[in-house]
Amino acid sequence: MSFSFGTKTPSIALSGEVVVSGLGKSYGAARVLSDVNLVMSEGEVVSVIGPSGAGKSTFLRCLNYLETPTEGIIEIGGAKVVAGGKLPDKASLDHLRRVTGMVFQSFNLFPHLTVMENITLPQRKVLGASKEQAQETANRLLKHVGLPDKANAYPARLSGGQQQRIAIARALALSPKVMLFDEPTSALDPEIGLEVLAVMRDLADEGMTMLVVTHEMHFARDVSDRIMVMGNGGVLEIGPSKQVMSDPQNDRTRQFLKAVLDR
């Protein structure tokens, strides 16, 4: 049986879909995240914006349990975890991480491995892919992110933008259903950031489901379907990108957008 309130809270997560309900996290008495709800359909791109300390990164990192939420339910691509302040059982955790791919602000490539090894190691260990299979996938993805000639380079030899594109390829190699981006361009100078944004735009066009914490307002407005504005550990408002940007409903959102757009 299924019941629904409009399109907001379907009771069953479909493939590639994200359903987060009542997600919260506290450290003792300090509440850093409270009652975050989000439903994403397959292929949807949602940008998460808001001031520093709003809980954007914490929210994103709770979704694959890099941070442990203390309450709420996470359903992503068929994986379901009920939060309880500790790591879920191994099977659920593996499943959740299997369906999510994450891209970090600081790239986090493995510095002692070549670009090729960075992309093939997870495929071989997590998917059990053969060396040939893994390399084939890696070469295809390297071409995709515009770096087909960097397979044998070590990360230290690459620019930040190149490292981030490799990191995206590494995550994609495991065929995640949802990609999580945690301020992927914040550590890059604006010009270099563009090459990363271009890759993300392609990915969105290809129908990848994406949740993007970002300060790139153009990307949020032009590429994402919806924008979620966070403040003070909660959701201030969420709506179609153009509407949130041009006609925000919440005072705090208006104040934040004015600050970032007027500079």
Q: How far apart are CA 223 and CA 241, in angstroms?
A: 9
The nearer residue to other proteins, 181 or 256, going by C-beta atoms, is: 181
By CB under 8 A, residue 94 contacts other proteins: yes
By CB under 8 A, residue 181 contacts other proteins: no
Which residues does 73 contact at the CB level (< 8 Å), separation at least 6?
Answer: 19, 20, 21, 22, 23, 80, 81, 82, 83
Q: What binding mask, one character per residue, do residues 30-69 give for other proteins by CB under 8 A, x or -?
A: ----------------------------------xxx---
Q: Pick from 154, 232, 234, 254: which binds other proteins (CB under 8 A)?
A: 154
Which residues in 133-208 belong to E strands, given as ranges?
178-182
Which neighbouring-strand residues pair with 238?
228
The nearer residue to other proteins, 160 or 234, going by C-beta atoms, is: 160
Q: Pick from 25, 49, 88, 107: which binds other proteins (CB under 8 A)?
A: 107
Nearest approach, Cβ of residue 232 and other proteins (Å): 25
Span from 20-28, 47-55, 74-82, 108-116 in contact with other proteins (CB under 8 A) = 108-116
The nearer residue to other proteins, 97 or 226, going by C-beta atoms, is: 97
Task: Please classify residue 169 by burial: count the beta carbons closer than 10 Å to its beta carbon, then call 0-12 exposed, 13-18 middle and 19+ buried.
Answer: buried
CB atoms within 10 A of CB 182: 21
Span from 16-24, 41-49, 68-76, 93-101 in contact with other proteins (CB under 8 A) = 93-101
Pairing of strands 226-231, 209-213: unpaired
By CB under 8 A, residue 110 contacts other proteins: yes
Span from 11-19, 68-76, 106-114, 237-245 in contact with other proteins (CB under 8 A) = 106-114
By CB under 8 A, residue 156 contacts other proteins: yes
**Region class of 35: left (phi > 0), else alpha (psi between -120 and 50), else beta:** left
Q: How far apart are CA 155 and CA 188, in angstroms?
A: 15
Span from 51-59, 104-112, 134-142, 217-225 in contact with other proteins (CB under 8 A) = 104-112
Q: Pick from 155, 161, 184, 193: which binds other proteins (CB under 8 A)?
A: 155
| DSSP result, 73-91 | EEEETTEEEE--SS---HH
**Region class of 16: left (phi > 0), else alpha (psi between -120 and 50), else beta:** left
Residues contributing to the site for other proteins (CB under 8 A): 64-66, 94, 97-98, 100-102, 104, 106-112, 121-122, 125-126, 154-156, 167, 170-171, 174
